[in-house]
Amino acid sequence: MDDMNLFEAMYSQRSFTRFRPDPVPKEAIEKIIDAAIRAPNGGNRQPWEFIAITDPEVIALVGEVYKEVWLNALGHEAPPGETPAYKAARYLAHHMPDVPAMILICADHSGTSPTTEGEPFVRGSQASSVWPAAQNLFLAARALGLGTRLTTAHLRGEQRVKDILGIPDHVETVMLTPLGYPRGNFGTTQRKPAADVTSHNRYGNRG
């Protein structure tokens, strides 16, 4: 399959929850991480770490933590009127233990700079630098026909995830994305029009 163009990837970058069981080739994972690390980042310190999880036993362990903390936080039964976004999230929570692959995107806080040296360990300072890389990764995955979903619910059980994967204290886990070839139909992302959130020259001047 030819790589799709950038705008096609952006407009079809749904937050996927349903995946075919096919494994994700190692070359594809390497390619999307290589695209991720091209992203801008503070002082070019590149404080990211990507943990590609393809071993079904490890996926099941991490996925079970995710499932448990998500359901405990948001309820084991769907409340009446649950929104489509939460219905999708709930479906994923149930299926996180059997997704084809996962990438845990982390921020390494061990780097120091004139601006961060001596500061206490501040969650988020290095983590801000991994968000642009994550978006690169999502788009690169889409370009290869893969689906991802940005999730953070595992943070409610972060230490358990870190223990499973042997992640040291100075590395913060920022987001966990399932990765696989999408199953079923999916449309483009549904968003309010850009014109509704764009000002021209002065705040609120919708032009």
* Binding span for ligand FMN by CB under 6 A among 22-30, 39-47, 145-153, 198-206: 145-153
C-alpha 163: how far from chain center: 20
* Binding span for ligand FMN by CB under 6 A among 73-81, 99-107, 150-158, 196-204: 150-158
Return d(Cα 174, Cα 41) in angstroms, integer.
15
Binding of residue 177 to ligand FMN (CB under 6 A): no
Any bridge partners for residue 15, and if so which?
148
Q: b/e per residue, 86-120, with b = 16+ CB within 10 A?
A: eebbbebbebbbebbbbbbbbbbbebeeeebeeee
Return d(Cα 80, Cα 88) in angstroms, integer.
15
Question: Residue 152 CB, nearest distance to ligand FMN (Å)?
Answer: 4
Binding of residue 89 to ligand FMN (CB under 6 A): yes
Judged by CB under 6 A, the number of residues near ligand FMN is 12
Binding of residue 150 to ligand FMN (CB under 6 A): yes
Binder among 33, 35, 53, 92 for ligand FMN (CB under 6 A)? 92
Binding of residue 179 to ligand FMN (CB under 6 A): no
**Are the beta carbons of 206 and 198 closer than 8 angstroms?**
yes
Contact positions vs ligand FMN (CB under 6 A): 14-15, 85, 89, 92, 149-153, 189-190
